[in-house]
Amino acid sequence: MAVTVHVASVIQKVVGDQKQLEADGSTIAELIADIEARYPGFRAQVADESGELHRFVNVYLNDEDVRYLGGTGTELGEGDSVSFLPALAGGGSFLPALAGGASFLPALAGGR
């Protein structure tokens, strides 16, 4: 089951500096195993030695936190999107995704 994986900047180094990659798996656990096989060290970024997801890393299936689905056992479907999102502590116009259908975007002319 091929899904699209989004990786937050802070853990992109372990996947070859990619923001997005394709991976296989019928569950979140299998997906992590597939990525780990190609990019050793990825699993440690998102899960502990027992395979439990770190509590400071959120994993989303599409827009839903997998903790409210089936955790690492959450089943994946063709075309799904999975995002790995660690907590950020840095203190240092939103256009919604246009998913088909008619959309109306007014021209914005204001500059001051």
Partner 1 sequence: MTEAASGNGAQPGGSAFTPDEVMRYSRHMIMGQVGPVGQRQLRNASVLVVGAGGLGSPVALYLALAGVGRIGLVDFDIVDLSNLQRQILHQTADVGRPKIVSAKESLLAYNPHVTVDTHEQPITSDNAMEIIAGYDIIVNGADNFATRYLVNDAAYLSGKTLVDGSILLFDGQVTVYKPGHGCYRCLYPAPPPPGLVPSCAEAGVLGAITGIVGSIQATEVFKQILDIGEPLVGRLLLIDALTMDFRMMKVRRDPACPLCGDAPSIHELIDYDQFCGTPPLIVPAEALEAAGGAPA
With tokens 């999102």, the residue in question is 85
Contact between 86 and partner 1 by CB under 8 A: the answer reads: yes
Cα–Cα distance between 32 and 51 in angstroms, integer? 9
For residues 2 to 21, the per-residue mask of contacts with partner 1, x marking binding by CB under 8 A and - elsewhere, is: ----x-xxx--------x--
Subset of residues 26 to 85 that bind partner 1, contact rule: CB under 8 A = 54-56, 58, 60, 63-65, 67-68, 83, 85
Provide, rounded to whole angstroms, the least separation between the CB of residue 91 and partner 1: 4
- Of 26-34, 35-43, 70-78, 94-102, the segment contacting partner 1 by CB under 8 A is 94-102
CB 65 within 8 A of CB 73: no
Element (H, E) at 21: strand 20-24
Instruction: Give the phi and the psi of residue 21 in degrees, each rounded to 5.
Output: -150, 165
Provide, rounded to whole angstroms, the least separation between the CB of residue 9 and partner 1: 4
Give, in order, the Cα–Cα distances in Å from 6 to each of 19, 23, 59: 6, 10, 10
Q: Using CB under 8 A as the criterion, which residues of the chain lie in contact with partner 1 when the complex forms?
A: 6, 8-10, 19, 54-56, 58, 60, 63-65, 67-68, 83, 85-92, 94-97
